[in-house]
């Protein structure tokens, strides 16, 4: 689950509607938040289904959460958002770039660069408070710790002190920490600036035709490790998303609005999360899956079915684009493109994976 966040009136709900095509279902009223599930558009999957004659096509699905304001007065997380954000993979951070006199901006002028900074500093303040509390607690523990326990506590103090420094320098933690061990050590603390982020620039409908160049401009300033930047005219797209496809594409060409940006935005989100997509074709079903980059195939098999992981023998793997070029598995075999891989093989973007296992 990924959460849509941002300053008030930046267009969070509009982005949610644009991405979920208005299919978002209101969640439990008490939480005042919306969840919606969106199928990741995937041309490769569609073509694979055509090639294999699959009757059932299962897309990768992304669950999105439309949260009310994250922070209450005084800059602390509201209890609802604390709970929601704890379960969240990435933060989809909506940044207002649209101009509208009847929708006042809480900070005055429309200034996306300032808003990115403002929101990042809200995240940083939250994280600094978390880190301070944790450091105080370790300090107490350390006083009565046995020598054998001191080591790990001291390592944690070192790591947290370094995080504090990064935050005081004004950089979100996601851009600074890459070591898997350190990320794991911090994973239980709910540090917001450590979560992967997609900045979604919410642009004027009149700018929709220029979205790629606007996106590139902001990317040059804000893209960082595990931070991606996308642009969308959210209000326009949320309205187009509710039209029948033919009508929507007619409007698109009239407005010069290009193709639907939904696939692109979801790809950026996947890239921020550092996920790779692989495919399976079993019986008459073709299906897309995602796993973190670097996942061994035996673990990926466990996503499909726990039996496949437990009884894993080997995997037959072929690159999807290559398979589509060659036209059939038999032809791929003849060209030596169908490989046999063992447990530790790292799943690659676009792999079609057939797992052989015993039960
Ligand atoms: N013109 C224009 N108005 C927008 C856009 N996105 C949102 N709005 C308007 O701005 C107001 C706030 O949007 P909303 O999505 O509710 O913001 P939220 O508070 O971040 O969820 C609403 O009146 C929207 O119609 C946009 O891309 N263009
Ligand atoms: Mg809203």
Q: What is the pLDDT of residues 259-312, one digit of tens each?
A: 899 999 999 999 999 999 999 999 899 999 999 999 999 999 999 999 999 999
Mean pLDDT of 45-66: 95
- Using CA atoms, how far apart are residues 222 and 228, in angstroms rounded to an integer? 8
31 pLDDT tier (thresholds 50, 70, 90): low
Mind listing the pLDDT tens digit for each residue in 213-246?
Answer: 999 999 999 999 999 999 999 999 999 998 998 9
From the CA of 103, how far away is ligand 1's center (Å)?
Answer: 8
Mean pLDDT of 85-100: 93
Ligand 1 pocket residue status of 11, Cβ below 6 Å: yes
Quick check: helix, strand or coil at residue 202? strand
User: DSSP alpha helices (H): ranges in the chain?
Assistant: 12-20, 43-52, 79-86, 112-143, 147-168, 180-186, 211-222, 234-240, 245-255, 262-272, 297-304, 306-310, 320-326, 329-334
Query: Which of 101-115, 122-136, 143-157, 215-229 is the least confident region?
Result: 143-157
On whether the CB atoms of residues 84 and 33 are closer than 8 A, the answer is: yes
DSSP 8-state assignment for residue 326:
H
- Residue 32 in this model has a pLDDT that exceeds 60: no
- Residue 76 in this model has a pLDDT that exceeds 90: no
Q: How far is CA 149 from CA 142, 154, 156, in A?
A: 8, 9, 11
- Using CA atoms, how far apart are residues 290 and 276, in angstroms rounded to an integer? 5
Q: How far is CA 211 from the centre of its chain?
A: 20
Mutate to test the pocket of ligand 1, among 102, 103, 239 (most ligand atoms within 8 A of CB): 103
- pLDDT of res. 29: 41
Structure tokens that stand for 233 in this block: 């005219």
Quick check: helix, strand or coil at residue 277? strand
From the CA of 85, how far away is ligand 2's center (Å)?
Answer: 16
Mind listing the pLDDT tens digit for each residue in 117-142?
Answer: 999 999 999 999 999 999 999 999 98
Q: How far is CA 339 from the centre of its chain?
A: 30
148 pLDDT tier (thresholds 50, 70, 90): confident
Residue with the nearest Cα to atom 8 of ligand 1?
11
From the CA of 212, how far away is ligand 2's center (Å)?
Answer: 25
Task: Output the average pLDDT for the chain.
Answer: 92
């Amino acid at each position: 689950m990924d959460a849509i966040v941002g300053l008030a009136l930046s267009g969070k709900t509009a982005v949610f509607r644009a991405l979920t095509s208005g299919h978002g279902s209101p969640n439990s009223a008490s939480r005042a938040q919306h969840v919606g599930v969106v199928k990741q558009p995937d041309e490769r999957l569609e073509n694979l289904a055509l090639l294999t004659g699959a009757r059932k096509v299962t897309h990768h699905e992304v669950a999105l959460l439309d949260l009310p304001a994250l922070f209450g007065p005084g800059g602390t997380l509201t209890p609802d958002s604390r709970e929601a954000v704890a379960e969240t993979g990435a933060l989809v951070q909506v940044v207002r770039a649209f101009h509208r006199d009847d929708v006042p901006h809480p900070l005055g002028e429309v200034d996306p660069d300032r808003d990115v900074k403002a929101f990042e500093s809200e995240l940083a303040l939250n994280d600094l408070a978390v880190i301070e509390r944790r450091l105080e607690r370790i300090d107490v523990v350390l006083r009565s710790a046995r020598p054998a326990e001191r080591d790990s506590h001291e390592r944690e103090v070192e790591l947290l002190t370094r995080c504090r420094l990064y935050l005081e320098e004004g950089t979100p933690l996601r851009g600074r920490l890459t070591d898997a061990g350190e990320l794991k050590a911090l994973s239980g603390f709910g540090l917001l600036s450590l979560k992967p982020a997609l900045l979604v620039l919410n642009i004027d409908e009149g700018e929709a035709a220029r979205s790629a160049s606007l996106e590139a401009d902001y990317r040059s300033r804000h893209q960082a490790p595990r931070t991606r930047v996308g642009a969308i005219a959210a209000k326009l797209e949320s309205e187009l998303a509710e039209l029948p496809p033919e009508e929507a594409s007619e409007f698109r060409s009239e407005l010069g609005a290009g193709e639907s940006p939904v696939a692109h935005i979801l790809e950026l989100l996947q890239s921020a999360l550092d996920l790779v997509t692989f495919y399976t074709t079993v019986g008459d079903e073709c299906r897309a899956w995602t796993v973190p980059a670097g996942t061994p195939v035996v673990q990926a098999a466990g996503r499909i079915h726990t039996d496949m992981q437990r009884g894993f023998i080997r995997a037959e793997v072929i690159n999807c684009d290559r398979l589509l070029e060659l036209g059939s598995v038999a032809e791929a075999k003849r060209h030596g493109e169908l490989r046999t891989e063992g447990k530790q093989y790292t799943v690659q973007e676009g792999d079609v994976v057939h797992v052989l296992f015993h039960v």
